[in-house]
Chain A
Amino acid sequence: AQSVTQLDSQVPVFEEAPVELRCNYSSSVSVYLFWYVQYPNQGLQLLLKYLSGSTLVKGINGFEAEFNKSQTSFHLRKPSVHISDTAEYFCAVTSGGGGKLIFGQGTELSVKP
């Protein structure tokens, strides 16, 4: 069975500092990996996804993530965060074929001035 672990439930950081949100997954089959963001009172918005190819994936709003198969990780990074990045971030995995997404528990990113 697939599972996703987001290692930090809350990450406080100051504006313009770098941030890394950690995600580890377990799966016995090939996977596709996603990061979603949920701003207050909004739905889940796709930040980026890894399907195949280059292990460094760039997404919206300056975020990027690196797929590391040997460490089964898909950590999300941003070199300089803004107040507007304050939100909850979810890592998710699927084996594809229209199958369900398996989500991690979410990480609340709080950016302080």
Chain B
Amino acid sequence: EAGVTQFPSHSVIEKGQTVTLRCDPISGHDNLYWYRRVMGKEIKFLLHFVKESKQDESGMPNNRFLAERTGGTYSTLKVQPAELEDSGVYFCASSQDLRVNYGYTFGSGTRLTVV
């Protein structure tokens, strides 16, 4: 079974530019989560999709961040315009079921650097 795939693995962009991160969850996983780790801080929740619907987007930092999951398969996270404080590692995770014992499978992350 293929795992959760994220790309790009690294991205370096200038302040003010736009970047789009992509996450392909495990096939059949309805639940998709985005998390972010800013340098030296804890990993923080951004949002949760159930299929194509946003279940919880309480962690989205501001309206420069836009997440989509059209068709309930892969998801994109767009940052427009990017700011220096957006630098960090963005993780995606997916889960088959909302029951906690199913757990979450994480991708390798996208390291975003805004210069």
Task: Give complex CA distance A97, B3 in Å.
Answer: 22
Give the size category of A's interface with B: 20 to 34
**B59 interface residue, CB < 8 Å from A?**
yes
Nearest chain A CB to B92 CB, angstrom units: 9
In the complex, what's the smallest C-beta–C-beta distance from A33 to chain B, in angstroms? 10
With both chains docked as a complex, state the minimum distance between the C-beta of B113 and any C-beta of chain A, in angstroms: 15
Inter-chain contact A90/B43, CB cutoff 8 Å: yes
* Residue in B4, B44, B99 whose CB lies within 8 Å of A103: B44
Interface centre among B31, B101, B106 (most CB of A within 10 A): B106
Query: Could you write out 12 A-B pairs with CB less than 8 Å apart?
Result: A41-B108, A43-B91, A45-B106, A46-B104, A49-B101, A49-B103, A100-B56, A101-B43, A101-B45, A103-B43, A103-B44, A105-B40
